[in-house]
Structure 1
Amino acid sequence: MLDKPDLSGQTAFITGTTRGIGKAIALDLAEAGCNIVSTGKTVDDSDSDLEGTIHKTAEECAEKGVDTHAIQVNVRDAENVQAAAEEAIEEMGEVNIVINNASAIQIQNVEDMPANRFDLMNEVNVRGTYLTARAFLDHLRDTEEDAWILTNAPPVAMDRSPGKAAYSWSKMGMSFITLSLANELGGDDIGCNSFWPVTAIDTRATRYFGMGTEDDWRTPQIVADTVTEILKRDPAEFTGNAVYDEDILREAGVEDFSEYNLTEGDPGPTSAMMFDPDYERP
């Protein structure tokens, strides 16, 4: 069991917290004492087969003793994102951690993917990351706590992705924005990093698109633990990195990853190889 940092008095604005990885990150940070701004599209799941809303996530975080606030936000809309950032700051007083997790996915060949789905992924993934980070920049420069912009996106280590070109392009764009910010904000002590799982993670998208089987998957908790470990570091020193979950957790002393596996055995590096076909575990 990893030791949690003390994030008391800090506040995280997290996109896409309705379920899956975003919700796991929110709950893990709340467990460490961090106040949570839960954001996303879903505010009512009564007519959906999928359980989860931004309010339910906020409520579960509040049960851990932290302050929470839920905001419905469309990360594609510049005015909506700016208004959400201002509301979060007004409600919470200070936001020092911004986590870009919201993401759209569609796995198809170029020939089969409609143009509007290509646009959607780039607007949610790349534009959403750009707008969310940008909305908080001035505020992050003035925070008293350690300031972070963290993005759920892979290292940029490929020049093609047959069958997944549009999705891969949009996810790498998220990292490109984040790592570019690390240089642009080099003198502001804001840690800008992307994080990505080595294996596929058990989420709605993973199951819907049939990305392997349960033998290939881990729970969202491994990504949440990765974020928490990053937040133990000094943002002035740890910035401009695109990291894999296993690498960060190994540095923290984790040797046995079986607690994260859905089934017995070691899942292959399916997610890492999607973006780096030559990836090999250390």
Structure 2
Amino acid sequence: MSSLHPLADRTLVISGGSRGIGLAIALGAARLGANAVLLAKTSDPHPKLPGTVHTAVADIEAAGGKGLAVVGDVRNEEDVTRAVDAAVERFGGVDVVVNNASAIATEPTERLSSKKFDLMMDVNVRGTFLLTKAALPHLRKSSHAHVMTLAPPLNTSPHWLGAHPAYTLSKYGMTLLSLGWASEYAAAGIGFSCLWPQTYIATSAVSNLADGETLVAASRSPEIMADAATAILAMPPARANGRCFVDADVLAESGVTDLSGYGGGDDPKWDIFVDAPQAGSTP
């Protein structure tokens, strides 16, 4: 670890970081010397999901960083405020927010319950709003402030708009918040960006699907998102501000074009909202 890395001694607050992509990003930052504060609900082991917010912090510290677990729900304003306050009390401030927590339900509209609709809006849109808002006074004081939201580039093709409109609304809502903040806080020196995977990522959300084993085999590992995230968070905030990144493109920009080490096989499954290359073209 170089003490000169832009993330060294920086403090990240990450929502939903007990496992999967959120934890991978926390670990990637920890290896560069960052502090990671995780706001997540999983205090006790889940029967179907690996790890808790406490085991995640242990992993972060084993990776060379400093971690802090805050058990709470990103939908709850008091929990979000408590997480930000804990980060400031323990580490002296907040430099980076990663809006990672997300809920997904892709049932057709007539089969989607209002409860699931509300959950997606509350976790995805409200949670992103609450955490970012709570951190903004502290981000203003940072010399390297970033807010990264795990949301897709806006793709208004009828195919994606019609695939699962409610989920799409919630994810595009996260993207629109990020793009809006990039403009609203253009003079504040904070880099607002979005990051989305080019392909499926091997997480519990994928493995627990009906054909999870097949999908995981065609998915890249969460480390590709972590490597892309740390590359973005190392940028000067102004360079990242207002941009929607795709993980593979970030790595290509960094000179990494061989992605085979991240798994997924020769033909990984393209993620939703990302248009797969046409036959005869290259990715």
TM-score by length of 1: 0.91
Structure 1 stretches lacking a partner, 5+ long: none
1:246 to 242, 245, 248: 248
The one-character-per-residue Cα deviations of 1:57-91 (angstroms, maximum 9, x if unpaired) are 11111123322111012111122212221122112
Structure 2 stretches lacking a partner, 5+ long: none
The one-character-per-residue Cα deviations of 1:76-110 (angstroms, maximum 9, x if unpaired) are 11222122211221121111010000011112101
- The residue number in structure 2 matching 1:180 is 180
- The residue number in structure 2 matching 1:65 is 64
With 100-109 and 6-15 compared, the bigger mean Cα shift is at 6-15
Does residue 146 of structure 1 match 2:144?
yes
In the alignment, the residues of structure 1 paired with residue 276 and residue 207 of structure 2 have an alpha-carbon distance, to the nearest angstrom, of 25
- The residue number in structure 2 matching 1:88 is 87
In the alignment, the residues of structure 1 paired with residue 79 and residue 23 of structure 2 have an alpha-carbon distance, to the nearest angstrom, of 21
Alignment of 1:122-141 (within 5 A): 122-141=121-140
In the alignment, the residues of structure 1 paired with residue 249 and residue 18 of structure 2 have an alpha-carbon distance, to the nearest angstrom, of 27
Contact preservation (8 Å) 1:179, 1:192: yes
Q: CA deviation at 1:255?
A: 1.4
In the alignment, the residues of structure 2 paired with residue 126 and residue 155 of structure 1 have an alpha-carbon distance, to the nearest angstrom, of 15
Q: CA deviation at 1:162?
A: 3.3
In the alignment, the residues of structure 1 paired with residue 249 and residue 163 of structure 2 have an alpha-carbon distance, to the nearest angstrom, of 27
Q: CA deviation at 1:19?
A: 0.8
In the alignment, the residues of structure 2 paired with residue 279 and residue 76 of structure 1 have an alpha-carbon distance, to the nearest angstrom, of 37
State the secondary structure of the residue aligned to 2:192: strand
The alignment covers a number of residue pairs equal to 273
- The residue number in structure 2 matching 1:261 is 263
In the alignment, the residues of structure 1 paired with residue 276 and residue 59 of structure 2 have an alpha-carbon distance, to the nearest angstrom, of 40
Contact preservation (8 Å) 1:110, 1:163: no
Q: CA deviation at 1:198?
A: 0.5
Q: CA-atom RMSD, angstroms?
A: 1.9
For 1:55, the aligned partner's letter is: H
With 200-209 and 227-236 compared, the bigger mean Cα shift is at 200-209
- The residue number in structure 1 matching 2:35 is 35
In the alignment, the residues of structure 2 paired with residue 238 and residue 276 of structure 1 have an alpha-carbon distance, to the nearest angstrom, of 20
TM-score by length of 2: 0.91
